[in-house]
Amino acid sequence: MSAEKIETKAKPLEKMTVTDLREMAKEITEISGVHGMKKEELIAAIKKSKGIIDEPVKKTDASIGEIKKKIKAVKTQRLAAIEAKDKKMAKIYKRCISRLKKKSRRAAA
């Protein structure tokens, strides 16, 4: 085998391109209709044929309630920075709030 094929097989399936996944699926006789499959379907079929069990993705470490408490605390810090005319810190707190909101949305999903 060429060095390229060895490298692509060492990659995790999720990081491989659709063409690489199709080539891999063509070699497996249990899988049919490879060209009509999407990337997610190819990954699932390859994992099923190889006996790889998907581990459930862990949720974020903090619960939604804890994240919302952090958001409230940062909002009060931001208001204090705005009153003190500290635009730099107000901007930093605003970014922190938006990151925490994204984190809470991911935890809820």
- pLDDT in the model for residue 80: 96
Q: Pull the structure tokens for residue 80.
A: 């204090």
Residue 78 included in any domain: yes
Q: How confident is the model at residue 6 (pLDDT cuts 50, 70, 90)?
A: very low
Tokens 């497996």 belong to 28
**Can you give the residue range of the structural domain that contains 22?**
3-50
Residues 45 and 69 in one domain: no
> Does residue 45 sit in the same domain as residue 71?
no
Does residue 58 lie within any of the structural domains? Answer: no
Domain count, the chain: 2
12 and 46 in one domain?
yes
What confidence tier does 3 reach under pLDDT thresholds 50, 70, 90? very low
- Check whether residue 104 and residue 71 sit in a common domain: yes
Q: Based on the fold, state whether residues 76 and 42 are members of the same structural domain.
A: no
Q: Are 62 and 103 a contacting pair, CB within 8 Å?
A: yes
Whether 84 contacts 96, CB under 8 Å: no
Other CB atoms within 10 Å distance of the CB of residue 79:
12
pTM over 0.85: no
Quick check: 90 and 44 in contact, CB under 8 A? Answer: no
Query: pLDDT tens-digit profile of 24-82?
Result: 899 988 888 888 999 999 998 998 888 888 776 665 556 888 999 999 999 999 999 99
Is residue 55 in some structural domain?
no
Residues 95 and 103: their CA atoms lie apart, in Å, by: 12
